[in-house]
Amino acid sequence: MAEIGYYSLLIALILSAYSGLTSYLVVKGRRAEMIASSENGIKATFFCLAIACFAMVYALITRDFQVEYVAKYTNRGLP
């Protein structure tokens, strides 16, 4: 599950860079098809970030200590 979150964050980074670049080009060129592409990139970025968040929550709930964040901030003694 940790790999899903990791790769989801990488894809979100690439999508957000793409959306930022196309938004900049829209301002410079005023092309309508690029506006729709940028909006879709932002929606896909949100979806990828949501997947990464759900992966982290799943790791916390299942106490997956292979994930560094879970290992550092939780233990089996917590409710």
pLDDT digit string, tens, across residues 13-35 = 999 999 999 988 888 877 777 88
Domain presence at residue 17: yes
For 49, list phi and psi in degrees, rounded to 5: -70, -35
pLDDT of residue 2: 77
Using CB atoms within 10 Å of the CB of residue 9, give its burial: 0 to 12 exposed, 13 to 18 middle, 19+ buried: middle
Residue 65 lies in a domain: yes
Q: Does a structural domain hold residue 46? A: yes
Please indicate, yes or no, if residue 63 is contained in any of the structural domains: yes
Q: Do residues 74 and 63 lie in contact, with contact meaning Cβ atoms separated by under 8 Å? A: yes
Looking at the structure of the chain, the number of domains it has is: 1
- pTM for the whole structure: 0.80
Q: Which of 2-6, 23-27, 33-37, 60-64 has the lowest average pLDDT?
A: 60-64
Is 48 part of a structural domain of the chain? yes
Q: Average pLDDT of the chain? A: 86
* Domain around 62: 2-73
Residue 79 lies in a domain: no
Instruction: Report if residue 78 sits inside a domain.
Output: no
Any domain includes 21: yes
